[in-house]
Amino acid sequence: MKKNKGRVTLPSENNFLEETKDLMDRWGADALRDSDGTKLDEDLKNLDAKIYTTYFVARGQNEFALQHITEAQQIFLMSDYHLAIKTELEIPFMTGYLREQLSPDYNHDPKVWWQVIDRTRNEVVDVSKWEVDSKRDVVVIKDTEPFHEYTVNFLSYMIWDPTQMYNYITNDWKDREKEIPFDVRQPHSQKFMMDTLKDFLETNPKTDVIRFTTFYYHFTLCFNDQRKEKFVDWFGYGSSVSPRALEAFEKAKGYRLTAEDFIQNGYYNSTFCMPTQAYKDYIDFQQQFVAQQAKAMVDLVHSYGKEAMMFLGDNWIGVEPYGAYFHTIGLDAVVGSVGGGMTLRLISDIPHVKYTEGRFLPYFFPDTFFDGNDDAILKEANDNWISARRALMRSPLNRIGYGGYPSLAYKFPKFVDYIAKTADEFRGIIDKIEDVKPMTKATVGIMSAWGSLRSWQNFMVAHALHYKQIYSYIGILESLSGMDVDVRFLSFDEIKLGIPEDIDVLINAGDAKTSFSGDRVWDDPAFVAVIRKWVYEGHGFIGVGEPTAFEKGGHLFQLHDVLGVDRELGFTLSTDKYFKEPVSQHFITEDLVGAFKFGESINNIYARSSDTEIIKVENENVVLASKSFGRGRGVYLTGLPYSFENTRVLYRSIFYAMNKENKMKNFFATNIHCEVNVYPNSVALLNNTHERQETIFYDGLGNAFEITLEPSEIKWGERNEETVEWHH
């Protein structure tokens, strides 16, 4: 691979040959791909480039799908809440759902698969008390209790692929077919999928890489009757169900699941809920099945001498790259969208593949690439690159790429130039660090009910989308993504068995009752004692939001004694709270100018003892505190939205929690806009901003040097043990 070429994937399209050549040359691209809505003609496929072809496994075959409509994918849905005024109630359960997407399943006996639930009792109503009127899509319930709320859990066919539906509606398409997703668990579909893939491989010799988009089951996404999003859960297994699947589950696991196991009060097993055993079993069951199926396809691809790449998203349910069976599939690569450091790590940390590829922003779509938007385009590209680059320095992607219509991007020469520069910078970085492990100063374990399965995905609802309820926690992961620490995602279950040797600091973050905070795990004395002991013996514990929250024994925060704070629920208002004065200065906030911006506030956090170091207080709430606990320490933060300031606050919190403040300033830049990465033979000093920065740099011996960095510069140096010789 010659210098300044390679590692870059370019989208192309018909009738764009010369421009494609030009772009390939300027960006050093060595692969071409199609996109949703674009195809590559033969001339393009003959260029000196790897050819990626997007491949849909479970949709885009309506002739087949219509012939086997009972093999359409399915989902359990809950009706709206309906109030019984008298002793009979009709529930038009489809109200609010989009009939273009969903169609009730009357083929399988509703009395077996559906449920009516009295939500005021939260009890299932006996099947003898209700009937389905399939003509009107109504359930009629008898003997209802007046002024109780009722819902219907019903089984529905999915007759429109959610991603195609999204693109279709968003782009206001009119004349295309609405693609019906079919289910790999059904006999005709399974055979059809394999046959179709074989045909494709036979008839597309120029395709080098099959880009599966993705496999079998879509994350949960429903629209409402106004064609607007109604429900989205990037992790949801809801759209993978069927009577056949549940019967197989019963055989495999020895018990039967009901609609409510999926509906779960309308929470639909959100990742924010503590997972039930039934849901965990179902995930295991489906992952195993889906991995088997995917393996067969990947084997087939390999038998044609081609590579199998998976897109991270869309129909990715069951093939989550951090899942237990992913390694059995044998994929060559995963490609995914990069929104910043956290989503980059989500891709670049994926194990068991030969390479990973990040699709950077902006996507070449008309909503961004329109006349006069030059500055915004450049800014989006620059912001995306510079925020992701931090993470790249820790865990490199092997490739980058773009998506959409290159003909649009080509009209913006400054953008084309910028990407040319970025591609060179990317190649330069990767060439240096692809095969080496960066030095880390600590290993941080992030706790949740999900553990490694949801690595870099804690607190997410939908991929990279902002929610008021999550940004205060997401910032932890975004900060960590570019920090010179190792990050591991640990489940409560594995922690209970013993905290791994290499962990220096545990982070427990999230709202009370969620799977991230832990809820009932904190009711388990053995679990609590394991962590207390571990901290006491010289480790760090960082709690964010409502960590260790389970009201018991006089505390909400079960590790109040480690964190130094608790939350007042009203029950101990009679007990005087003496400790209110913040310390005048503290190691954790030494680089913080002004207030600590903790995001969403959590009311009534107070210090429990004089040993608590109250660091920041706002509106009488402690928002930042620390405490010694044996030879270890606890740190409490109300929240940590992503910012340079907060990244430093977290960084310092980690060293403080470890009781190793004195180790921080080895290979360290004082300026919060700069970061240092140390490799076996080199050192990189990053400027993470678009402005010039001056910083003090400390080498490994603690010697200080003043260094100036140009906007977004990476300064590379040669490392000789603890010292650095900077390149010029």
Q: Taking CB under 8 A as the criterion, which residues in 509-548 touch a second copy? A: 510-511, 513-514, 525, 528-530, 532-533, 536
Find the binder of a second copy among 553, 680, 702, 711 (CB under 8 A).
553
Encoding tokens for residue 513? Answer: 């009752």
* Amino acid identity at 385: W
- Sequence-ordered list of residues with C-beta below 8 angstroms from that of 636, at least 6 positions apart, any chain: 542, 543, 544, 547, 563, 564, 565, 605, 622, 624, 625, 626
Q: Angle at Cα 618 formed by Cα 613 and Cα 621, nearest 5°?
A: 65
Stretch that binds a second copy, among 22-30, 86-94, 100-108, 506-514 (CB under 8 A): 506-514
Residue with the two structure tokens 């008309």: 366
Does residue 713 belong to the site contacting a second copy (CB under 8 A)?
no
Q: Is 570 among the residues that bind a second copy (CB under 8 A)?
A: yes
Please give the angle made by the CA atoms of 185, 188 and 193, to the nearest 5 degrees. Answer: 75
Nearest CB to a second copy, comparing residues 236 and 401: 236
Residue 496 CB, nearest distance to a second copy (Å)?
A: 13
**Beta carbon of residue 476, minimum distance to a second copy (angstroms, whole number):** 16
Point out which span in 66-74, 104-112, 221-229, 579-587 binds a second copy (CB under 8 A): 221-229
User: In the complex, what is the shortest distance from the CB of residue 214 to a second copy, in angstroms, rounded to a whole number?
Assistant: 20
Q: Pick the closest to residue 122 from 238, 264, 279 (CA basis).
A: 264
Q: What is the DSSP letter of 180?
A: P
Place of tokens 């696991």: 253
How many residues does this entry show for the chain?
Answer: 728
Residue type, position 122, single letter:
N
Residue 467 found at the interface with a second copy (CB under 8 A): yes
The residue from 469, 681, 720, 723 that contacts a second copy (CB under 8 A) is 469
Place of tokens 């399974």: 190
Under the criterion CB under 8 A, does residue 689 sit at the interface with a second copy? no
According to CB under 8 A, which one of 22, 25, 67, 146 is a site residue for a second copy?
A: 146
Whose Cβ is closer to a second copy: residue 339's or residue 403's?
339
Give 343's contacts (C-beta < 8 A, 6+ positions apart).
336, 337, 388, 456, 463, 464
- Which DSSP letter does residue 97 get? B
Which range touches a second copy (CB under 8 A), out of 125-133, 226-234, 307-315, 676-684? Answer: 226-234
Choose the binding region for a second copy from 404-412, 448-456, 598-606, 706-714 (rule: CB under 8 A).
598-606
- In angstroms, the CA 19 to CA 26 distance is 10
* Cα 166 from Cα 162, distance rounded (Å): 6
The 8-class DSSP code of residue 537 comes to: T
Smallest gap from Cβ 470 to a second copy, in A, equals: 7
**Strand ranges (DSSP E) for 159-257?**
209-212, 220-223, 229-233
Of 619, 620, 595, 616, nearest in space to 606 by CA? 620
Q: Select the span of 186-194, 260-268, 280-288, 382-390 touching a second copy (CB under 8 A).
A: 260-268
Candidate list 266, 313, 330, 538; residue touching a second copy; CB under 8 A: 266
Are 73 and 182 in contact by the 8 Å Cβ rule? The answer is yes
Kindly state the smallest distance separating residue 217's Cβ from a second copy, in Å.
16
- Size, binding site for a second copy by CB under 8 A: 72
Q: DSSP code of 698?
A: E
Instruction: Collect all residues with Cβ–Cβ distance below 8 Å to 360 and sequence separation of at least 6.
Output: 338, 381, 384, 385, 388, 400, 401, 402
Strands (E), 30-71: 31-33, 50-55
Catalytic residue (choose from 314, 486, 561, 566): 314
Q: Which of residues 63-102 bind a second copy (CB under 8 A)?
A: 81, 83, 85
Q: φ and ψ at 683, to 5 degrees?
A: -135, 135
Q: Rule CB under 8 A: choose which of 145, 177, 332, 380 binds a second copy.
A: 145
Site string for a second copy, 101-130 (x = CB under 8 A): ----------------xxxxxx--------
Residue 55 region by backbone torsions, left for phi larger than 0, else alpha for psi between -120 and 50, else beta: beta
CA–CA distance, 51 with 53 (Å, rounded to integer): 6
Nearest distance, CB of residue 460 and a second copy, angstroms: 10
- Interface with a second copy, residue 468, by CB under 8 A: yes
- Minimum Å gap between C-beta 339 and a second copy is 18
Residue from 603, 681, 720, 723 in contact with a second copy (CB under 8 A): 603
Name the segment binding a second copy (CB under 8 A); options: 9-17, 284-292, 595-603, 649-657: 595-603
The answer to the question of residue 229 lying near a second copy (CB under 8 A) is: yes
Pick one of 25, 620, 694, 710: the residue that binds a second copy (CB under 8 A).
620
Q: How far is the CB of 570 from a second copy (least distance, A)?
A: 4
Q: Is 126 noted as a catalytic residue in this protein?
A: no
Q: Is 261 in the site for a second copy (CB under 8 A)?
A: no
Q: Which of residues 422-461 bind a second copy (CB under 8 A)?
A: 461
Residues assigned a catalytic role: 314
